[in-house]
Amino acid sequence: MFADVGQSVEVSVLATQANWAWPLAVRDIFQPRGVNLLVADNTNDIVNVLRQRRIWTTIIDTDFQQAGFWTLKMIRMESPYMPCLMLVNNPTGDVLDEALRLDVFSVLDKPVDMRILKDQLNRLFVKKYGNNIFSE
């Protein structure tokens, strides 16, 4: 677990709801590590969670309410430096350009390979927080 001046810190990851079972699948990555996975049903939920809790990263499915990039822009207004992962079905050059412009940490192709997701989460947490909570 993370330490902060000798205190245990709750690690929470916020993800958008998806129309497939991936939030259940990623729980298998988070629960063994003591990481909380919060799943938002809509953009208002995301904004409210960001205002009320410390979130370490977000995972945005671009199919979320057909407004993935709009959702990311809302996140950027609330938490400009929040590291984000995006899930994209067949990412095009335009999608990758927009993700780069919005400072997305990583874009993952859908369907998501859970090993790649875990590797990207590990890379993100090591780079951003100096912690390898997602390593093997």
Per-residue model confidence (pLDDT) at position 16: 86
pLDDT tens sequence across 7-48: 457 899 998 877 666 667 777 888 889 999 898 888 889 999
Residue 68 corresponds to which tokens in the numbers above?
Answer: 């993935």
| Residue 121 in domain | yes
We report the CATH number of the domain holding residue 43 as 3.40.50.2300
Q: Share the mean pLDDT of the chain.
A: 86
**Rounded to the nearest 10 degrees, how much is the dihedral formed by the CA atoms of 24, 58, 72, 127?**
-140
pLDDT tens sequence across 79-106: 999 999 999 988 899 999 999 999 999 9
Phi, psi of 89 (to 5 degrees): -85, 110
| Structural domain that includes position 94 | 2-129
State what percent of residues in the chain have pLDDT above 70: 88
Q: How many domains does the chain have?
A: 1
